[in-house]
Amino acid sequence: MTTPHRERIVLAYSGGLDTSVAIPYLADKLGAEVVAVAVDVGQGGEDLDAIRQRALDCGAVVAEVIDAREEFAAGYCLPALHANARYMGQYPLVSALSRPLIVKRLVEAARRHGGTTVAHGCTGKGNDQVRFEVGLGALAPDLRIIAPARDYAWTRDDAIAYAEANNLPIDVTARSPYSIDQNLWGRAIETGFLEDIWNAPVEDIYGYTDDPAVAKDPDDALITFEHGVPVAIDGCPVTPFQAIDALNQRAGAHGVGRLDMVEDRLVGIKSREVYEAPGAVALITAHQELETVTLERDLARFKKSVEQRWTELVYDGLWFSPLKQALDAFLAQTQAHVTGEVRLRLHGGRAVVTGRRSPASLYDFGLATYDTGDTFDQSLAAGFTTLWGLPSRLSAARDTRLVAATPSGAGPS
């Protein structure tokens, strides 16, 4: 007699308590086989082979660990750099950038292993449930979606009790007071005592940055860009991944990229978030400065509105939307002349530009200088200012004429 084929669920696996417990829980509750997929986007901190083995020990029929660090840097962090993306003017989209890549890899795994359902560990309060599910709906609308923590009303205490009752190979005693998500682009810390927005962050929450108050000698980094892509640091060629990784180390050593903000979540609530993104902040700072030298004024002004909309779309989980794809094309076009070098001084929690140069520069020394060598024809300015202010003068004359023609004490009809 042939054994009936069991449904296969592809689980976005982090190696932590919640997703480890989800493996046997989903197998028991739904009678399904669970395929665990962990995607390395540069989060570090744990042996990936150990994560794979833990998934198997928890009952996964297949466990995959996918090295997507270079893809994440080039295909996700780099577009964010071109958009100078900082949600609410601060957050450089750390978690939001990794989710569409993880979604893409989950869909590929589902096709590879005959999966009919995808599961993730998000709760109903956060943004990530939207990012996962909207992305899955765009790439694979035929796949069913399960979120155990949300759909089955799990609590962390429930997960711990289940792990202990089933002797799962997970250390459930060392409970972190924080919720942490990290990848190559940065690190996000929330919950615990940080939920009181009056409480100041303490030093032990940080992992990517050193205390900027500790005295150190400044570090000057020379970053070379070609068409908006960082290609060298201090003259040494780098890939996008290597550029971000190197600046995470160098800028992080000076406490660059620490952020503490109350953030407007997609689901409508405000959330206190602490971030550290040294490499991202350093690169965005350098990239923005090079754009000031190489982008024409009206293009630069319009690009700022595109940057904001692009950032909101990605934050809101719409990476695969038609509008975001159209804005990608615009942003790519703006990078045609963003080539040159920027010198950054990393010191005391800040990345400060101290020099910039470009073969595609729109800065003309002869036009800018007030000293000998000035090539600007100042005789043209008088006519220019007259014409530029003409609409305002006409408007003011009109208002004066109408006031004069109005009987004394009469108001508008």
Has 131 been labeled as part of a binding site?
A: yes
Has 339 been labeled as part of a binding site?
A: no
Has 108 been labeled as part of a binding site?
A: no
Q: Is 99 a catalytic residue?
A: yes
Question: DSSP labels for 31-58?
Answer: --EEEEEEEESS--SS-HHHHHHHHHHT
Has 381 been labeled as part of a binding site?
A: no
Has 358 been labeled as part of a binding site?
A: no
CA–CA gap between residue 164 and residue 166 (Å, rounded): 5
CA–CA gap between residue 351 and residue 371 (Å, rounded): 31
Catalytic residue among 57, 156, 179, 343: 179
For residue 229, list its beta bridge partners. 226
Quick one: which H or E segment has residue 266? none
CA–CA gap between residue 220 and residue 245 (Å, rounded): 16
Q: Is 264 a catalytic residue?
A: no
For residue 261, list its beta bridge partners. 273
Has 13 been labeled as part of a binding site?
A: yes
Q: Where are the alpha helices (DSSP H) in 118-265?
A: 128-139, 148-151, 156-165, 240-252
Q: Is 343 a catalytic residue?
A: no
Has 248 been labeled as part of a binding site?
A: no
Find, among 98, 54, 103, the residue nearest to 75 by Cα: 98
Has 206 been labeled as part of a binding site?
A: no
CB 146 within 8 A of CB 237: no
Has 370 been labeled as part of a binding site?
A: no
CA–CA gap between residue 131 and residue 321 (Å, rounded): 12
Catalytic residue among 54, 69, 86, 99: 99
Has 18 been labeled as part of a binding site?
A: yes
Q: Is 128 a catalytic residue?
A: yes
Has 275 been labeled as part of a binding site?
A: yes
Find, among 166, 185, 216, the residue nearest to 73 by Cα: 185
Helices (H) and strands (E) in the chain, counts: 15, 14
Has 179 been labeled as part of a binding site?
A: yes
- Using a 10 angstrom Cβ sphere, with 0-12 exposed, 13-18 middle and 19 or more buried, the burial of residue 268 is exposed
Has 7 been labeled as part of a binding site?
A: no
Has 361 been labeled as part of a binding site?
A: no
Catalytic residue among 95, 105, 128, 250: 128
Residue 406 CB neighbour total at 10 angstroms: 11
Quick one: which H or E segment has residue 348? none
Where is the binding site for L-citrulline, in residues? Answer: 91, 127, 131, 179, 263, 275
Residues belonging to the binding site for L-aspartate are 123, 127-128
For the annotated binding site, the residues are 12-20, 91, 121, 123, 127-128, 131, 179, 263, 275
Query: Residues marked as binding for ATP?
Result: 12-20, 121
The residues assigned a catalytic role are 18, 99, 128, 179
